[in-house]
Amino acid sequence: MKRISPVLYPELPRLAAFTLLLCVSGILSYPSTGYGQLGVDTLTLKAPIRHEYRADRTADETLQNRTQYQVAIRYSVGLSEAGDWGRLQLDGLAGTGSKYTSQWNTAYDALGDSRDPHPFYMRQIFLHWRLKEIRAEFGVIPPVKGTVSATSLDKDGWIRGGRFVTSIFSDGQLELVMGGLDRLTEPNAFQTWHSLNYFEVEWTQNWARTHRFELGLVRLKQQQYSRAEIRLRSAESAMGVFEVSGEALWNHTSETHAIDIGASAIWPWVTVSMEYAYVPEAFGILGLLSNDFLTNGHLLMGQLKGRLSSIKPLGWFLQQHVGESVMNTKIGVSLTHEFY
């Protein structure tokens, strides 16, 4: 049996303090945990298990054949009441995974060459301040907000810095982010900060409550990028909900582009998604930091996911990725539970 990695031990005092804070806050806030109440606002546990099979299509060779698990705890602890000075919270993410692009630990490797130490880290921890249409985040913050595409940064990753968001135009938002995107194989929030290497300005425009358009500029490690994204979602009906999206990115430094096109059909019992992405090798590091990044070049993805019977917290999923020289299949079950 594999031992839990020693890299976890230095974090135990911090994790214990964090757990104690959540418990005490939960007791103080019981039975009411409304937005204006001090204590735990939200506490969500996500714990999926999957089997992953990856093969080289050109050499007919198995690259990976393993069973993995994930544990992720998202939390929001109220630190002050909502008032004239706004609302202050402590938000974050604690979970498994040993790198920026993945929260998965390997439980069993059929090829016998896994050395995954089963880490559990504080991946994000930050102060979150809200005042009407203005909000700010400071600390080890999530890289993106909301739904992301295959060419976007992994939302479970991190940026050591700050974010400022304010209203602009009608139903629009202006977002400014500045910080350090570093330590890609060291997902530990309690580390010395490095120099700033990430800057972003983004305008998000919502209309008809279901449609969204984004336009942004990014600078990451001396590379200059611009991006545009559109996401259109139908209104809910007996026929289900349908969504289409498209994202285009341009690297001004290397003069290369990346694109992503997706479509989803959402019903109460199952969600069907298809996505196509193209990220050339010359595009730069921004193209390598998406969730579970597989390969450069052309990539086609399909996904089915749904609930297991009538048990709401339990679900299942099947994902298939086909690249130019590699294919990847993932099948698993998931548990998601909101305590608050």
Work out the average pLDDT over 208-230: 94
pLDDT digits (tens, 9 = 90+) for 22-74: 444 443 444 434 444 578 899 999 999 999 999 999 998 999 999 999 999 99
Task: State the CB neighbour count (10 A cutoff) for residue 312.
Answer: 10
284: left (phi over 0), alpha (psi -120 to 50) or beta: left
CATH number of 6-338: 2.40.160.10
Q: Does a cis peptide bond (omega within 30 degrees of 0) precede residue 6? A: no
pLDDT at 3 over 80: no
Check residue 195 and give its pLDDT.
87
Q: How far apart are CA 165 and CA 29, in angstroms?
A: 28
Work out the average pLDDT over 148-166: 92
CB 277 within 8 A of CB 293: no
Tell the burial category of 152 from Cβ atoms under 10 Å away from its Cβ (0-12, 13-18, 19+).
buried
Could you tell me the pLDDT band of residue 309, with boundaries at 50, 70 and 90? confident
Q: Residue 119's beta-bridge partner residues? A: none
Check residue 117 and give its pLDDT.
81
DSSP string, 159-215: EEEEEEEEEETTTEEEEEEEEE---TT---SSS------EEEEEEEEEETTTEEEEE
Work out the average pLDDT over 253-264: 97
Helix (H, G, I), strand (E, B) or coil at 89: strand
Q: How far apart are CA 174 and CA 168, in angstroms?
A: 6
Q: Which residue has the higher pLDDT, 11 or 50?
A: 50
Check residue 6 and give its pLDDT.
38
CB 76 within 8 A of CB 94: no
Check residue 114 and give its pLDDT.
61
For 22, the enclosing helix (H) or strand (E) is helix 12-29
Q: Residue 37's beta-bridge partner residues? A: none
With a CB cutoff of 8 Å and minimum separation 6, the contacts of 311 are none
Average per-residue pLDDT in the chain? Answer: 88
- Pick from 51, 48, 27, 49: nearest CA to 38: 27
Q: Where do the structural domains in the chain lie, given as residue ranges? A: 6-338
Q: How far apart are CA 225 and CA 108, in angstroms?
A: 39
pLDDT digits (tens, 9 = 90+) for 71-112: 999 999 999 887 888 999 999 999 999 999 999 999 999 998
What's this model's pTM, rounded to 2 decimal places? 0.86
Looking at residue 292, its amino acid is D
Could you tell me the pLDDT band of residue 312, with boundaries at 50, 70 and 90? confident
pLDDT at 211 over 70: yes
Place of tokens 């005042």: 131
Check residue 34 and give its pLDDT.
44
Check residue 17 and give its pLDDT.
47
Q: How far apart are CA 135 and CA 166, in angstroms?
A: 7
With a CB cutoff of 8 Å and minimum separation 6, the contacts of 232 are 210, 211, 243, 244, 245
Q: Residue 213's beta-bridge partner residues? A: 205, 230
pLDDT digits (tens, 9 = 90+) for 173-202: 999 999 999 999 999 999 988 889 999 999
* Lookup: tokens for 315: 């679900």
Check residue 84 and give its pLDDT.
84
DSSP string, 176-189: EEEEE---TT---S
